[in-house]
């Protein structure tokens, strides 16, 4: 699977600095019809189109969580969550790519100004993908001026488009995790992404072999939070520098799940008037819109999705307000957000499965929008940060 990056000769000027929060959210909403039109192809091709990715950039969506110094809009986690939910109404994979690449801008900001200039100085659209989970099997050799890195990391969402990659590898005798920033061109793509859902995220494995990484692009993983705090003075007007890291406050994965379920509910509402099911084993048909059980089940599912959406909007706003006021999040804050990330995903999963069951055998078609949404939400629900039991235990500990 080849990766198509924008040629250097086509580097674009940064989006207008006058774009507001309402502008970028409206732009995401405006992309929904196009994303729905392309969603079946994305699912089949296991990749979002180059044109779709370019449109995300043109709309300013990839600049939401970038500092003004590098052409960014310096918006908040609240906008990030709302954008992801809206994009997922059209295509969950596209929303996931946006969410990953936008969120990973914050990882870049933990590095020295030299690195930030290297990544964004000549290309304000540059993005970072990769995997921040420690790979204990990776091999790191200390050499003059840096390290030689060898290893393989899976689940590198968005790597079809990113110019840079981040990998977590062990360094030294104690094998302590360090984050390595590597140009995409120095890595090899392994086309091993064949899931049942979220097929277009490009979450393939990436590998490197004896790639030289200079010292200024390597940092202890444990130092990330401290380094982000130290870099705040570089971008004094960027409130999101005061958010937690990694952050549950922007609902990076849960927003995609809720948005996908929201899109499924919208499709069902738009088509139920003309939809039928086989009446019984002997044949015949019944109109779905005339069935009391359909009305009851759909009202429950759609209402639950709406509650999940409102909870994301409320919690992401609260997290953004803490950052704006330069208030550090407490353990109670972050535990509640971790719980709510898992809760809204759990709700989205139950709701989309409920809607799926109303459609009948037609939903078994892989290209049916509700089938795709169900598979996507099921896949998202397995993300490690959305584990309900872990989130519940952490939340209980924070309030007891």
| pLDDT-based confidence at residue 269 (cuts at 50, 70, 90) | very high
Report how far residue 259's alpha carbon sits from residue 95's, in angstroms, rounded to the nearest whole number: 9
Q: Are 126-221 and 254-276+285-399 equal in CATH topology?
A: no
- Strand order in 218-220's β-sheet? 128-134, 164-171, 176-183, 218-220
Given the structure tokens 């309900």, which residue do they identify? 388
pLDDT at 381: 98
At 111-141, the pLDDT tens digits run: 999 999 999 999 999 999 999 999 999 999 9
CATH class of 254-276+285-399: mainly alpha
Give CB contacts under 8 A, 24+ apart, made by 299-304.
300/351, 300/354, 301/265, 301/350, 301/351, 301/352, 301/354, 301/355, 302/265, 302/269, 302/351, 304/347, 304/350, 304/351
* CA proximity to 39, closest of 200, 267, 161, 157: 200
**Close Cβ partners of 356 (under 8 Å, ≥ 6 residues apart):** 264, 363, 370, 371, 374
Residue 11 above 80 pLDDT? no
Whether the per-residue pLDDT at 1 is higher than 70: the answer is no
Q: What percentage of the chain exceeds 70 in pLDDT?
A: 98
Q: Which range in 10-19, 268-277, 322-331 is most confidently predicted, on average pLDDT?
A: 322-331
**CATH for the stretch 126-221:** 2.40.110.10
In terms of DSSP bridges, do strands 188-190 and 176-183 run parallel, antiparallel, or are they unpaired? Answer: unpaired
Tell me the CA distances in angstroms from 15 to 19, 73, 127, 181, 264, one per residue in order. 8, 8, 15, 25, 32
Angle 8-14-19 from CA coordinates, rounded to 5°:
155
Q: Does domain 16-108 have CATH number 1.10.540.10?
A: yes
Domain residue limits, the chain = 16-108, 126-221, 254-276+285-399
């Amino acid at each position: 699977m080849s990766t198509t990056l924008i040629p250097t000769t086509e580097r674009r000027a940064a989006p207008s600095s006058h774009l507001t929060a309402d502008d970028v959210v409206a732009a995401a909403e405006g992309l929904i019809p196009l994303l729905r039109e392309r969603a079946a192809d994305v699912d089949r091709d296991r990749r979002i189109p180059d044109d779709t990715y370019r449109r995300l950039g043109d709309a300013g969506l990839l600049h939401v969580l970038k500092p003004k110094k590098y052409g960014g809009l310096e918006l908040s986690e609240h906008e990030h969550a709302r954008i992801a939910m809206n994009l997922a109404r059209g295509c969950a994979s596209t929303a996931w790519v946006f969410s990953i690449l936008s969120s990973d801008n914050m990882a870049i900001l933990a590095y020295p100004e030299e690195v930030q200039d290297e990544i964004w100085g000549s290309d304000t659209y540059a993005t970072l993908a990769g995997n921040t989970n420690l790979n204990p099997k990776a091999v790191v050799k200390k050499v003059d001026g840096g390290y030689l890195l060898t290893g393989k990391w899976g689940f590198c969402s968005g790597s079809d488009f990113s110019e840079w990659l981040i990998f977590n590898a062990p360094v030294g005798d104690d094998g302590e995790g360090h984050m390595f920033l590597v140009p995409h061109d120095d890595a090899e793509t392994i086309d091993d992404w064949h899931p049942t859902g979220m097929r277009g995220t490009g979450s393939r494995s990436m590998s490197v072999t004896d790639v030289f990484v200079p010292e200024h692009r390597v940092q202890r993983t444990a130092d990330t939070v401290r380094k982000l705090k130290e870099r705040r003075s570089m971008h004094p007007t960027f409130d999101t520098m005061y958010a937690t890291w990694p952050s549950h406050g922007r609902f990076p994965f849960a927003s995609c799940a809720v948005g996908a379920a929201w899109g499924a509910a919208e499709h069902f509402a738009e088509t139920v008037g003309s939809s039928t099911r086989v009446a019984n084993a002997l044949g015949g048909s019944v109109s779905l819109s005339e069935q009391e059980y359909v009305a009851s089940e759909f009202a429950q599912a759609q209402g639950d999705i709406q509650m999940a959406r409102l909870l994301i909007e409320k919690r992401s706003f609260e997290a953004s307000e803490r950052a704006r006021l330069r208030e550090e999040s407490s353990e109670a804050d972050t535990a509640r957000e971790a719980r709510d990330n898992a809760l809204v995903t759990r709700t989205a999963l139950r709701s989309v499965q409920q809607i799926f069951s109303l459609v009948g055998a037609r939903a078994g078609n892989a290209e049916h929008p509700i089938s795709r949404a169900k598979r996507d939400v099921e896949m998202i629900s397995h993300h490690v940060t959305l584990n309900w039991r872990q989130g519940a235990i952490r939340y209980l500990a924070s309030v007891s």
